């Protein structure tokens, strides 16, 4: 077997230009596929992290019925059972973010607009999404304050500014009427229009009083120490809580549309990568086809001199595989530092593209994901293609007529 490999190695360098061109096509396809998948994974990670930070967190404790019917009637008590469960898993939990949320009408003078009232702990909320950094005017409240912070778009609709009084009317817990008057202490600006035109923030205690829901929450966001163990932590937390009253839901359950989008993106990018490989595969096949027909006389003579068909067939297979492996090895050598460099210095969008991305609440920066598994997967794909193509040369050798080939 060793001398067959040596023979195959010598054969491919008898025509250096053809070997380098074929290996080069494998190299560029490998680099493009790795770059595409690394960028796609980076984009998905950036998008997922942004949405998790903006909305759901990695997991939430909710009332068991809240996901199916998100109303003020399905709040849960943040009491001893929840606190004990969090305490038992304290080593795996980084921090928690309590929220109470509901829709109301916000009014000033004769103008009324629909608004989402969100009661928060400002210090914990800042850990999650640095909310205070978006303050455009005034200041963010502390836990003991009693003023409101409203979104800039809503403030413009109501013609309201800091120091003005905001009236909100809605429905509280168990059909209680919720009414409140709050001084506007700050105006906050979001890049996402939906948030910028609807949000009213209140200190958690003030919001619970407004909704007549003392010590109750819409959701308690739980941020894990290890993001890779979200599913395991959610299961452990659920085991410690009553299934009748509580549900622990991960971000995948809270954003099923996002999960479907990511799966669709994976499928699309994988198909594009395989298009690269199909093109390269035909290129390698054309080269091997030409090489086989050019060497038919050589094959006939070698078989006439006593070389076994199996040995000659494996030599042809090894030639194809070596050409593919040269391209893959060059791809590894050039691709790893390239992807790692783009991880350290990610693609940064500017201008209109950046503005469009900001509307989705994402920073217009997309780092590549440096994952050796991506390189290995693409290498396996190339190896599979070269093996399949190599089978053609093996078949051709097995069906070659010795006398006819020797006369050509």
Residue 103 placed within a domain: yes
Instruction: Give a yes or no: residue 338 inside a domain.
Output: yes
- Of 175, 207, 242, the residue at which a domain comes to its end is 242
pTM greater than 0.95 (yes/no): no
Same domain, 85 and 202: yes
Same domain flag for 192 and 280? no
Residue 223, domain member (yes or no): yes
Q: Could you tell me if 25 and 277 are in contact, meaning their C-beta atoms sit under 8 angstroms apart? A: no
Instruction: Based on the fold, state whether residues 42 and 78 are members of the same structural domain.
Output: no
Domain boundary among 211, 242, 273: 242
pLDDT tens track, the chain, 408 positions: 677 777 778 877 877 887 888 888 788 888 888 888 888 888 778 778 777 877 788 999 999 999 888 888 899 999 899 999 999 998 999 999 999 999 999 998 888 999 999 999 999 999 888 888 889 999 999 988 989 999 999 999 999 999 999 999 998 888 788 899 999 999 999 877 778 899 999 999 999 999 999 889 999 999 999 888 899 999 999 999 988 899 999 988 888 887 887 788 778 877 877 787 787 778 777 777 777 777 777 777 777 777 777 877 777 788 888 888 888 899 889 989 999 988 888 877 777 766 666 666 666 777 788 888 888 888 888 878 888 887 877 777 777 666 565 555
For residue 60, is it within any domain? no
Containing structural domain, residue 45? 2-52+258-407
- Quote the mean pLDDT of the chain: 84
Q: Which of 183, 207, 242 is the last residue of a domain?
A: 242
Q: Are residues 382 and 321 in the same domain?
A: yes
Question: Do residues 205 and 275 both lie within one domain?
Answer: no
Verify that 373 and 236 share a domain, yes or no: no
- Output the CA angle 85-89-90, nearest 5 degrees: 110
pLDDT in tens, 20-36: 888 887 888 888 888 88
The answer to whether 62 and 99 have CB atoms below 8 angstroms apart is no
**How many distinct structural domains can be found in the chain?**
2
251 falls within a domain:
no
Residue 12 inside a domain? The answer is yes
User: Same domain, yes or no, for 205 and 290?
Assistant: no
3-class SS string, 324-368: HHHHHHHHHHHHHHHHHHHHHCCEECCHHHHHHHHCCCCCCEECC
Inside any domain, residue 250: no
Q: Are residues 137 and 183 in the same domain?
A: yes
In a domain, 280, yes or no: yes
């Amino acid at each position: 077997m060793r001398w067959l490999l040596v023979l195959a190695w010598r054969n491919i360098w008898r025509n250096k230009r053809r070997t380098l061109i074929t290996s080069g096509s494998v190299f560029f396809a490998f680099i493009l596929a790795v770059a595409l998948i690394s960028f796609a994974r980076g984009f998905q990670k950036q998008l997922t992290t942004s949405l998790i930070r903006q909305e759901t967190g990695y997991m939430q404790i909710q009332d068991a019925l809240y996901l199916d019917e998100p109303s003020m009637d399905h709040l849960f008590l943040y009491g001893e059972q929840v606190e004990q469960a969090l305490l038992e898993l304290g080593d795996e939990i980084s921090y928690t973010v309590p929220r109470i949320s509901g829709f109301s009408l916000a009014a000033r003078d004769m103008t009324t607009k629909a608004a989402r009232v969100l009661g928060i702990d400002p210090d914990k909320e800042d850990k999650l999404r640095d909310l205070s950094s978006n303050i455009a005017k005034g200041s963010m409240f502390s836990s003991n304050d009693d003023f409101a912070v409203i979104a800039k778009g809503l403030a413009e609709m109501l013609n309201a500014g800091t120091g003005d009084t905001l009236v909100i009317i809605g429905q509280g817990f168990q059909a209680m009427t919720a009414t409140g008057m709050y001084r506007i202490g700050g105006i906050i600006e979001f890049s996402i229009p939906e948030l910028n035109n609807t949000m009213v923030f209140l200190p958690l205690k003030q919001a619970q009083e407004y909704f007549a829901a003392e010590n109750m929450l819409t959701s308690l966001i739980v941020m894990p120490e290890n993001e890779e163990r979200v599913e395991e932590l959610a299961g452990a937390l659920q085991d410690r809580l009553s299934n009748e009253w509580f549900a622990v839901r991960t971000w995948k359950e809270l954003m099923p549309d996002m999960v479907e989008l990511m799966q669709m993106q994976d499928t699309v990018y994988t198909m594009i990568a395989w298009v690269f490989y199909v093109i390269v595969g035909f290129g390698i096949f054309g080269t091997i086809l030409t090489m086989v027909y050019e060497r038919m006389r050589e094959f006939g003579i070698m078989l006439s001199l006593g070389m076994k068909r199996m040995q000659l067939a494996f030599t042809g297979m090894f030639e194809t595989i070596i050409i593919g492996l040269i391209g893959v090895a060059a791809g590894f050598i050039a691709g790893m530092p390239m992807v790692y460099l783009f991880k350290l210095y990610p693609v940064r969008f500017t201008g209109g593209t950046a503005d469009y991305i900001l509307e989705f609440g994402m920073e217009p920066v997309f780092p590549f994901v440096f994952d050796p598994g991506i390189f290995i997967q693409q290498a396996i794909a190339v190896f599979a293609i070269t093996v399949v193509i190599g089978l053609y040369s093996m078949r051709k050798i097995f069906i070659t007529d010795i006398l006819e080939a020797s006369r050509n």
